[in-house]
Chain A
């Protein structure tokens, strides 16, 4: 792989967003994902190839997270760097010259106003090359349904932080299943477990964002 693409992967792995960013301290005053993505395009690298090197960096992040070597803050900085680089690739995706891996529709279920966990997952999935539609917090089952009808190929992600609102996940899944029995639905959030996922007839649960990306990648491949 080209030197600049290697550098780009490195920036994603360590969360270097742009030259001005103080994070990580040992990369101070160096080019970040923002500058390098722009340069890579100027040098004539294809958007697909650039995306590939971004995702390669993100895969290392996911592995380190699974191995407990890094935590949420480092993962978020990587996702932020990824987002900065992706901004430059957007025109190529929008014109159809390059392809996103898929569409992920995410929201916190009705009655629940928590968005940190949902935002982390949204950012991380977007950082892994997916288009993310964020419906926000306190999302009614009907809103999920409307979005699915607009984007039939999407995967849906439901979030809940409270034991008192996770019940609404069940209602949301039931309503979606009624109309779209094969819709892929992922669930997550502090009180959610594998067993709960099975009990409410959802398809996938992961305790961390990397698990969701691994699952989506499998579906997309």
Chain B
């Protein structure tokens, strides 16, 4: 598949809903990734398992899959003693997803938060920007068709990531997690969809949206709030609700069918161009989105 041009991007956005993927970490855990270890390390140590996770989503009907690089900034990887392998982990992550995607899907490189707070003076914005730029460049070198900034709470951090990603020239999607305040319409740091949309548009994002959160039923109002603030395409990847613990195992009660019932309206009524899932979803959830297309 040729790299995604601006024209190709527009054509893609004109054929919604574009089906995204679901959670990766839990798939890798099913394949033996121990809890609490960095999933990103598996790009180098267990590439076959990472490839299989990507393929599972492509087979389920994902038109865009992400990469196993969510915690892939040097700042996050340093906590696991992997700082020096940052570039390789990200480049390989993109390469593995590209192999899984073949000619069936596009690959967007995943960039998550660094786990540090700018406002507390734990880190400088320069250092943070450098880390995002390193990750974005590595993902591009590995062949990513676009980049997605996700699960952000702090607008300043998300904007730094967006700018770094945009500097690669690839299409950039910027998302935050809205799980606080009245109706869960603010991020933990108090940012609204309107503030996020405005800042991301100025920072060079090609699409904006929300992921993770407390459950898909929060997302239709979020779509409306984003729609009122921007004309950029919307990207929505909700969790399958909140987890419960049963016999020492994490369980999400929501079924793939229930999830699809709640997520399809994000396109039908909310105007989202891209829909997929986050924590608690697996290829069967993506398949449910795919095999029950809206009339």
Contact = CB atoms under 8 A, between A and B. Distances in A.
Contact of B190 (A72, A138, A199, A200): A72
Contact of A116 (B115, B186, B190): B115
A163 B182 contact: no
A27 interface: no
B154 to A, nearest CB: 8
Contact of B245 (A71, A119, A199): A199
A76 B243 contact: no
A120 to B, nearest CB: 9
B220 interface: no
Contacts of A138: 36
A72 B248 CA distance: 31
A77 B29 CA distance: 38
A179 interface: no
B249 to A, nearest CB: 8
Contacts of B115: 114-116
B158 interface: no
A13 to B, nearest CB: 17
B36 A71 contact: no
A193 interface: yes
- Contact-residue size bin, chain B (C-beta under 8 Å from the other chain): 20 to 34
Contacts of B80: 113
Contacts of B1: none
Interface string A101-113: 0000000001111
Nearest to B29: A164
Contact of A71 (B188, B242, B243): B188
Interface string B178-215: 01111000101110000000000000000000000000
Interface string A99-141: 0000000000011111110010000000000000000001000
Nearest to A23: B119
Interface string A148-177: 000000000000001111110010000000
Given A164-B29, A166-B250, A76 B35 contact: no
A116 B157 CA distance: 14
Interface residues of chain B: helix, strand, loop or mixed (majority): loop
Given A71-B180, A193-B242, A164 B250 contact: yes
B15 interface: no
A97 B25 CA distance: 52
Contacts of A91: none
Nearest to A109: B36
A162 B189 contact: no
Interface in A156-210: 162-167, 170, 190-191, 193, 195-196, 199-200
Given A71-B180, A71-B181, A166 B245 contact: yes
Given A164-B29, A167-B250, A196-B244, A71 B190 contact: yes
A62 to B, nearest CB: 15
A163 B79 contact: no
A70 B35 contact: no
Contact of B119 (A73, A162, A165, A199): A73
B295 interface: no
Given A116-B117, A162-B36, A165-B35, A71 B279 contact: no
13 contacts: A68-B182, A71-B181, A71-B186, A72-B180, A76-B119, A111-B35, A113-B80, A116-B117, A163-B250, A164-B35, A165-B35, A167-B35, A196-B245
Interface of B: 25, 29, 35-36, 79-80, 115-117, 119-120, 179-182, 186, 188-190, 242-245, 248-250, 279
